[in-house]
Amino acid sequence: MKAIVAHAAKDLRLENQPVPNLGSGQLRIRLQSGGICGSDLHYYNHGGFGAVRLKEPMVLGHEVSGIVDAIGENVTSHEVGQLVAVSPSRPCNACEYCHGGAQNHCMNMRFYGSAMPFPHIQGAFRETLIADATQCAPADGLTAGEAAMAEPLAVVLHAAKQAGDLMGKRVLVTGCGPIGLLAVIVARAAGAVEVVATDITDFTTQMARKVGADMSHNVGDDPAALEQYSADKGHFDVLFECTGVAAVVASAVPALRPRGTIVQLGLGGDMTLPVQAMTAKELVLKGSFRFHGEFFTAVKLMRGGQIDVKPLITHNTPLGDFAAAFELASDRNQAVKVQIDFTTSD
């Protein structure tokens, strides 16, 4: 089978690898769709992010869906021919965090396509994937592309839990990549009375309005765009911060109301924050990292029609054009979510 393997920054290869054996409790899946995530782009463009660096070749990818083509022993939950969304979250279920219901902080997490541990956890961008049946959510009624969006949607659902009740709240979203745009969609679905988004391109800010934002601002063209929201000690109750850029957080703090909540999703390295200004407003800063059970909720919400992710899927490219797909996904002026079609090689 073919797999997309990162060796170093800008060194991405399509390689032949053996198909692992199918074990008890597992499914063999013919991959259909794989979405390129921001972390995949960090490995491709920079060889890693922050202190996380590639130390050996690693198969990329963790936003995937596929068709079950074989079932291992002791599996009764799935059928051959069924479309499934595959969760990349594989906690050990034995450590103290797993026992405490915080599987996203598992001490021995095996998350597809992660260079955090060494040896690295190999990813899911491969034509044939062996996965535990417990990872796989039936995705009947969805397209393969929609099913592959379950992972980023789960990230945002976990962040929404961190934010608390959004009913009637005013929400600011900074950063309109896939996660930020999903934050707009989820905040609106959760009852936010107003959603405003910022980014640095016209394409992404226009997309924010398309998926439900009341207003969006290109802060690349107008760095002072948020100043209009700072009167009377601020306007927004909740900030979903999706850039991981310190200057963006600093610019948003004056627009937040006292006792507002910042949910930090963006990961880009350490940041220096305006702690005194945050303290004076009694702002609550909450980190949000990965997800676990929210993955299956994401699939149910898409299947039930409560969440529509289709507008975010801007490009679908053949497996043979994998390098061009990564370049396209890096271009915020024309792409939101670029997915690779693993059923076509040309």
pLDDT value at residue 322: 95
pLDDT value at residue 270: 79
Q: Is the dihedral of CA 100, 105, 109, 111 positive or negative?
A: positive
Residues 273 and 313 in one domain: no
pLDDT value at residue 346: 61
pTM: 0.95
pLDDT tens column, 118-168: 999 999 999 999 999 999 999 999 999 999 999 999 999 999 999 999 999
Residues 244 and 141 in one domain: no
Cα angle for residues 20, 113, 25 (degrees, 5° grid):
40
Q: Is residue 300 part of a domain?
A: no
240 contacts 162 by C-beta, under 8 angstroms: no
pLDDT value at residue 212: 97
Residues 129 and 234 in one domain: no
Query: What would you measure as the largest C-alpha separation in the chain, in angstroms?
Result: 63
pLDDT value at residue 50: 79
Nearest C-alpha neighbor of 248 from the set 228, 220, 276: 220
d(CA 171, CA 38): 23
**Residues whose CB is less than 8 angstroms from the CB of residue 17 and which lie 6 or more positions away in sequence, other chains included:** 1, 2, 3, 59, 126
**Structural domain of 94:** 2-149+309-341
pLDDT value at residue 288: 96
**If 0-12 CB within 10 Å is exposed, 13-18 middle and 19+ buried, where does residue 137 land?**
buried
pLDDT tens column, 5-63: 999 999 999 999 999 999 999 999 999 999 999 999 999 999 998 788 999 999 999 99
Domain count for the chain, please give it.
2
d(CA 26, CA 74): 8
Residues 95 and 142 in one domain: yes
pLDDT value at residue 293: 92
